[in-house]
Structure 1
Amino acid sequence: MSHPLSFMLCLAGFTALAFAMDRQQHDLIGRSLPASVTRALRIAGACALLLALGVLVAWQGWGLGLVMFSGHTSLTAGIVHVTLIGSARVYARASKH
């Protein structure tokens, strides 16, 4: 149960951090979000990643927990990155027509 939970927390964390970036806000919703919302997204993203780290360290200890956290963050950051690239390409293709 710890793998899916930490995976989902990492995915939510990186998604929140991506939405906290001005460029992604403009690309995905067409405008900048208020500073308070951006700050809340950054805090939520960081908290989700720390919670995922806590889940894995509590489950496997510091040695293996940190290694697993590294793997989860690498995988989920890649998923968010590829999704952002894909959405930008779809949006660019749709705006040409």
Structure 2
Amino acid sequence: MMPAPADLWSHAAVLGLSIVAFALLALAMERHQEAVFGRRLGAAAGGWNRAAGWAALALALVLAVALRGWSLGLVAFSGHASLAAGIVYGMLVWQGRRKAPRRHGPYRMRD
């Protein structure tokens, strides 16, 4: 049995908001700003990213609870937030490895 398209869109909306929220929260940190942009954005940008990230997480929670009720909404939000945090973390790792200097060959010889 296939889920209704409205169910898929509601899951996509909560997941999308959660991904944006965790990306903004990551970009509020100077370490991730340097990794992504190559420089620090400043305290004001970090504060705005942090505030917008928390606001997006709160909006995702409100949306999940509004669409599914308190019991399933909290469970759905928890799962979507966990998946979104993993996706953002994976993208940060991938970004760091993409910019890292490459070694010659897959193995490093010991002396």
TM range (shorter): over 0.9
Percent identity over paired residues: 45
Q: Which structure is higher in RCO with an 8 Å CA cutoff and minimum separation 6?
A: 1
TM-score between the two structures when normalised by the length of structure 1: 0.92
Matching of residue 58 in structure 1 with residue 66 in structure 2: yes
List 4+ stretches of structure 1 deviating above 6 A: none
Matching of residue 34 in structure 1 with residue 24 in structure 2: no
1:93 aligned counterpart, secondary structure: coil
TM-score between the two structures when normalised by the length of structure 2: 0.81
Partner of 2:88: 80
Taking the aligned partners of 1:20 and 1:27, their CA distance within structure 2 comes to 12
Partner of 1:92: 100
2:28 to 16, 20, 23: 20
Residue 36 of structure 1 and its aligned partner are, at CA, apart by: 1.0
Larger of the two Rg values belongs to structure? 2
> Which runs of 5 or more structure 1 residues have no equivalent in the other structure?
none
Opposite residue 77 of structure 1, the aligned amino acid is: A
> Which runs of 5 or more structure 2 residues have no equivalent in the other structure?
1-8, 104-111
State the superposition RMSD in angstroms: 1.5
Opposite residue 32 of structure 1, the aligned amino acid is: R
The count of residues paired between Structure 1 and Structure 2 equals 96
1:31 aligned counterpart, secondary structure: coil
Taking the aligned partners of 1:16 and 1:44, their CA distance within structure 2 comes to 7
Q: Which has the higher helix share?
A: 1
Residue 4 of structure 1 and its aligned partner are, at CA, apart by: 1.0
Post-superposition CA distance 1:19-53 (Å, at most 9, x none): 11111011111211121111000011001110000
